[in-house]
Amino acid sequence: MTNPYRQLPGLDALLHHTQLGDAIHTFGRATVRDVAREVLEAARARIHEGEATPDELQLITGMMTLLEHTLAPSLRPIINATGVVLHTNLGRAPLSLAARQAMDAVSHGYSNLEYDLESGRRGSRYSHAEQLLCQLTGAEAALVVNNNAAAVTLVLRSLAAGKEVILSRGEMVEIGGGFRIPDIMRQSGARLVEVGTTNRTRVADYAQAIAPETAAILKVHRSNFKLVGFTASAGMGELVELAAQQQPPLPVLNDLGSGTLLNTADFGLEYEPTVQDSVQAGAALTTFSGDKLLGGPQAGIIVGKKTHLQKLRQQPLTRALRVDKTTLAGLQATLMAYLRGTATAEIPVWRMISAPVAELAARAQAWAAELAAAGMPADLRPGQSTVGGGSLPGQSLPTTLLALPSSQPDQLAQRLRLASPAIVGRIEHDTVLLDPRTVQPAQEALFLQTLLRVLQAES
């Protein structure tokens, strides 16, 4: 009787198999050897349990599966068909072509990140974005750190550590991931002084709370939720006026969260306070994100008075929060689009927000026709897209959705997510829906190929 263990190929025989050539090139011979040992050991265990001896091809397939699932990069591009423009879980703002090219250019080799080419001496990495930010917002100075939570922490740490900061109870927001403004304030070393109520806070509430230990007044934009009904809040101009009357004058800090340089009302949305509004109203420092409505790489941007920004630059924490050359290059290229007045054409976030309803309907109809030609049923229905990413809560944009009929919508959605490339849609009323607003035109052909492949496999 033939020994089933002896029918297993040897380790060297597996490693010399022609189908493993690419895997060895990608993962390295030592890694593939370790995986081969693991697969052979698992095969011996199954033989011991009475199973048949796997052939060489089955072992190779097992090795490739193990390599792909455990060692292949877990972070990969996906196609966003959810209709949520700034989807935090999907990486927020996709970058413009100019931003990607700028980031690629400085990543190839050396750059003048902290080097002044004219003088031949050390320069500042922050100068690469500061002039553009000041020109676009009207601020005296600017600083860029790695995200907006870091920006708020740095501002409070630099200007209010060990002292009091006044904040309305209606603005004690929680951002994604469970991070709360009071927690950020506590980490900065500042002491929170709550004023007003959840729904109504007046200037008088701030005035009554000002004390010798007061270091600043903080205003936080409710960018990820809305208060409606019997409400009242103090405007930035009112707070600046109150703060200027103090001796010495107090700085008013404005955390805009998402932050926009464009008038959102021009796109059928409610008006969102702009960064320029905050600067013109007299905010000492304004903080906002780089990868939300700005449409650039992840960053925390601080603009405002030069005297306050100088304190931030001298804060040791600034070095721990600094951004790299690729972020600055991408941010600079993104800001240039605003300077040229071409943001709605160049920056994907604004291109999606401003997409005409008729164009979206035509794209959805073309998708349905493509599926119908392949014998795959699909319906069209009116729907709504959202901006997302903690921006413009409760507001939506009209769109046309591709609806995929399925008796098992959850399983269909999963198969789309597990495809290559992954397609992420949404499920409403037991139907998988795909929104053309967030599927970028350059992805459309691949999107349809993948969608057809998944649907044909299911039928």
Q: Mapping DSSP to helix (H, G, I), strand (E, B) and coil, where does residue 316 land?
A: coil
85-110, pLDDT tens digit by residue?
999 899 999 999 999 999 999 999 99
The domains of the chain are located at 4-70, 78-87+351-458, 95-343
pLDDT at residue 310, rounded to an integer: 96
Q: Which fold has domain 95-343?
A: Aspartate Aminotransferase; domain 2 (3.40.640)
Distances, alpha carbon 89 to alpha carbons 83, 124, 229, 314, 394, in Å: 13, 33, 31, 34, 19
Say which CATH class 78-87+351-458 falls into: alpha beta
Convert the pLDDT of each residue in 151-181 to its tens digit.
999 999 999 999 999 999 988 887 666 668 8
Assess contact for 223 and 393: CB atoms under 8 A.
yes
Q: What does the alpha-carbon distance between residue 306 and residue 327 come to, in Å, rounded to a whole number?
A: 23
Evaluate whether 378 touches 402 at the Cβ level (below 8 Å). yes
Where the chain has pLDDT below 50, the residues are: none
Query: Between 148-160 and 181-188, two packed helices, what is the crossing angle to 10 degrees?
Result: 50
Give the pLDDT of residue 266: 94
Q: For residue 278, what pLDDT is reported?
A: 96
Cα separations in angstroms, 292 against 87, 219, 390, 443: 9, 19, 8, 21
CA distances from 432 to 92, 180, 206, 408 (A): 22, 34, 49, 9
Omega within 30 of 0 (cis) for the link into 297: no
Structure tokens that stand for 165 in this block: 């900061």
User: What residues does 175 pair with on adjacent strands?
Assistant: 179
Q: How far does Cα 167 stand from its chain's mean position?
A: 27
The answer to whether residues 288 and 259 touch, using CB atoms and an 8 Å cutoff, is yes
Calpha distance 14→8 (Å, rounded): 10
In the prediction, which pLDDT does 206 show?
93
pLDDT value, residue 225: 63
